[in-house]
Structure 1
Amino acid sequence: MKFTTIWRDNRAATALEFALTAPVFFLFIFGIIEFGLLFWTQLGLQHGTQMAARCATVNPTLCPSSDAITGYAAQQAFGLTLPAQTFTYSTPACGNQVNASYVFQFPQVLNLSPLTVTAQACFPS
């Protein structure tokens, strides 16, 4: 075959273009999914802390102790299966305060270090 014949041959050009762009495309898609999960985790922690701080003030029969408050916060975390130890309860000057700290682990494919996600809510008493 002559070199000019090989150079003008455009068979399998689509396969070559896909092979060149597919890794970047899939990395982009997986990154969007993982950062979406990160933001969902942050939102769940924030919602759990806000609802538990409110429960400690408004409904003392449902949230009578710090263990009950942290357990309630874990239940209110938007479908996340978090242990109650993720949340802490205190009573500073602002009222009933609930804090949360969770280490979010990215998959090894993205090769990112773990990220600590925190949330805090205080409801006046």
Structure 2
Amino acid sequence: MSRAAAFWGDRRGASALEFGLIAPLFFAFLFGIVEMGLLLWTQAGMQHGAALAARCATVNATLCPTGNPGMITAYASQKAFGLNLPASTFAYSTPACGNQVTASYQFQFPQILNLAPLTLTAASCFPA
């Protein structure tokens, strides 16, 4: 058997080669799932904080006085599923529907992806 025939018939290292070809795609997919999870968690936290703050403004005048919107937005920030969102993410208003809390946040993807930030929004209105 010639040396070239022996080289092409050799199967050692085939698993390492397959791993080298598939690993970048696998890790990119895994990283994408994690980032999508963080994005959805942030969205859910913002919605939860807005809903609880709008309800608090209606039913608990001591904890969330409507005359002090800063306390309402701070309460919303505290109730956002453990996210460290600043109170300025949330805004309080009193439209026709009652006490409304809205949120807007720029979700920044990791720099390695080089993507523009995605604006997440949430809103909740509780009848007064």
TM-score, normalisation: structure 1: 0.97
- Rounded to whole Å, the distance in 1 between the matches of 2:21 and 2:111 is 22
| Secondary structure at the counterpart of residue 109 of structure 1 | helix
Alpha-carbon displacement from aligned partner over 1:44-78 (angstroms, at most 9, x marks no partner)? 00000000000000001100120110000000000
Residues 102-121 of structure 1 correspond to what in structure 2 (within 5 A)? 102-121=105-124
The amino acid of 1:112's aligned partner reads L
- 35-44 or 1-10: bigger deviation: 1-10
Sequence identity percentage: 66
- Tell me if 1:83 matches 2:86: yes
The amino acid of 1:59's aligned partner reads N
- Tell me if 1:93 matches 2:96: yes
Q: Which residue does 1:5 correspond to in 2?
A: 6
Unaligned runs of 5+ in 1: none
TM-score, normalisation: structure 2: 0.95
The amino acid of 2:120's aligned partner reads V
- Rounded to whole Å, the distance in 1 between the matches of 2:34 and 2:113 is 11
Q: Which residue does 2:34 correspond to in 1?
A: 33
The amino acid of 1:106's aligned partner reads F
The amino acid of 1:28's aligned partner reads F
The amino acid of 2:127's aligned partner reads P
Q: Which residue does 2:24 correspond to in 1?
A: 23
Unaligned runs of 5+ in 2: none
- 23-32 or 101-110: bigger deviation: 101-110
Q: Which residue does 1:54 correspond to in 2?
A: 55
- Rounded to whole Å, the distance in 2 between the matches of 1:7 and 1:69 is 71
- Rounded to whole Å, the distance in 1 between the matches of 2:77 and 2:26 is 36
Q: Which residue does 1:70 correspond to in 2?
A: 73
Alpha-carbon distance, 1:2 to partner: 2.5
